[in-house]
């Protein structure tokens, strides 16, 4: 009922806004009209005749013409004044009827008068199952824009970013959680994991440092032990990786969620060892190089493995030169160059990415943010 009252008041206000100026009318102008001009001309003719400046014959002809025009202008003004009230009445009638009827018609076609009200507070208390993950993330991001020092907010959104594949955002969230909430073994391990995901599966120096800090605080932390084994494998020390993963599996319960990932990694690094532990299922996909690429890289010398990695980076750079529309590709290329310690090439990739996205402000903003996150300047 209150809704209809509000709508009625709004409609009445709209009608009043239209009728008010029409009801006031307009006072006739005291000067500047044709009638006043002609009257001034008659007075001027009288002055010229009295001063002897105009012959009597010319005076009569001019006075007759001006008087004729004065009468015509006066008749026209009277006709317009008589017609104006009728025009105003028609406009008033149309406004009085058309505005309410038009509003009701539009509401009848597009509105839902039987739908119950749903205040903002109730919508925000809607069950999580009824809200999309994107809506929830957007709500948290809006909160963090207003409260960037909310460490709990960063900690809440970080794992969601990981599940959505937004690894750069996950790194930022994990770093903020560490800074604001304080370092713990678990937070360091989560931060290192985000860095590995953002580096396409490569355990970078920063990620390794985070995992080593975790081991100092919690020697049994499974996440840190797994990734330190992965770092050893990527450095060509498969024996160290196998030892770390075998020990991890020996201490794990059969139903441990991450045991399958460790078995897959062990199968990749040393199939004969994995067969003793458990039947090795097909390797699960992971971010970065495929299982075949990692296996091949592990069998190479450090120099050969470095050449293989650089070849993959060069192929990505060549593809982006041909088609610069891949925004994630530019981010990966810059990150890869930074991992390889080639800052100049990372800066060149940033410049090329900016040129490729110059016509799209949103993409250009994302590339600039990725460059700043990597320490490549403004």
pLDDT tens-digit map of 237-284: 888 989 999 898 888 877 788 888 888 888 888 776 545 544 444 333
CA 232 to chain centre: 39
Task: For tokens 């001009």, name the residue.
Answer: 37
* Number of domains composing the chain: 3
pLDDT recorded at residue 363: 84
| Prediction pTM value | 0.43
The whole-number pLDDT of residue 113 equals 58
Q: DSSP letter at 282?
A: P
Q: Are residues 224 and 284 in the same domain?
A: yes
152 and 275 co-located in one domain: yes
Mean pLDDT for 346-353 is 86
Backbone angles phi, psi at 51, to 5 degrees: -85, 0
Q: Nearest Cα to 200, choosing from 351, 340, 347? A: 340
Q: How confident is the model at residue 116 (pLDDT cuts 50, 70, 90)?
A: low
pLDDT value of residue 128: 46
Is residue 315 within 8 Å of residue 296, measured between CB atoms?
no
CATH of the domain at 328: 1.25.40
Whether the per-residue pLDDT at 148 is higher than 70: the answer is: yes
Asked whether residue 2 is domain-assigned, the answer is no
Say yes or no: 157 and 51 in one domain: no
Q: What is the pLDDT of residues 82-114, one digit of tens each?
A: 555 666 667 666 666 666 677 667 666 666 555
Q: Which of 27-31, 320-324, 370-374 shows the lowest per-residue confidence on average (mean pLDDT)?
A: 27-31
Q: Name the percent of the chain lying above pLDDT 90.
A: 19
357 falls within a domain: yes
Whether 329 and 265 map to the same domain: the answer is no
Do both 102 and 174 map to the same domain? no
CA distance 226 to 244: 7
């Amino acid at each position: 009922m209150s809704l209809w009252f509000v709508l009625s008041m709004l409609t009445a206000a709209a009608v009043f806004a239209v009728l008010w100026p029409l009801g006031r009318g307009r006072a006739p102008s005291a000067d500047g009209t044709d009638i006043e001009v002609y009257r001034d001309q008659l007075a001027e003719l009288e002055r010229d005749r009295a001063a002897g400046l105009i012959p009597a014959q010319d005076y009569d002809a001019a006075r007759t013409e001006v008087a004729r025009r004065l009468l015509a202008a006066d008749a026209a003004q009277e006709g317009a004044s008589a017609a104006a009230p009728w025009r105003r009445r028609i406009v008033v009638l149309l406004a009085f009827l058309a505005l309410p009827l038009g509003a009701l018609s539009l509401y009848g076609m597009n509105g839902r008068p039987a739908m119950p009200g749903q205040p903002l507070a109730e919508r925000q208390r809607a069950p999580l199952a009824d809200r999309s993950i994107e809506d929830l993330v957007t709500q948290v991001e809006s909160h963090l824009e207003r409260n960037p020092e909310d460490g709990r907010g960063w900690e809440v959104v970080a794992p969601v970013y990981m599940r959505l594949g937004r690894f750069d955002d996950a790194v930022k969230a994990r770093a903020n959680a560490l800074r604001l909430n304080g370092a713990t073994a678990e937070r360091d391990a989560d931060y290192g994991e985000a860095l590995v995901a953002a580096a396409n599966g490569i355990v970078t120096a920063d990620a390794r440092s985070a995992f080593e800090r975790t081991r100092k605080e919690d020697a049994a932390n499974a996440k840190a032990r797994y990734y330190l084994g992965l770092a050893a494998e990527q450095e060509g020390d498969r024996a160290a990786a196998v030892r770390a993963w075998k020990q991890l599996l020996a201490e794990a319960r059969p139903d441990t969620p991450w045991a399958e990932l460790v078995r897959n990694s062990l199968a990749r690094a040393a199939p004969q060892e994995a067969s003793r532990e458990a039947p090795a299922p097909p390797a699960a996909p992971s971010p970065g190089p495929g299982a075949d690429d990692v296996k091949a890289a592990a069998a190479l010398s450090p120099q050969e493995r470095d050449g293989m990695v650089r070849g993959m980076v060069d192929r990505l750079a060549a593809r982006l030169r041909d088609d610069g529309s891949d925004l994630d590709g530019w981010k990966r290329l810059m990150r890869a160059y930074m991992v390889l310690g080639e800052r100049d090439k990372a800066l060149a990739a940033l410049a090329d990415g900016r040129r490729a996205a110059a016509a799209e402000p949103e993409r250009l903003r994302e590339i600039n943010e990725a460059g700043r996150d990597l320490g490549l300047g403004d």
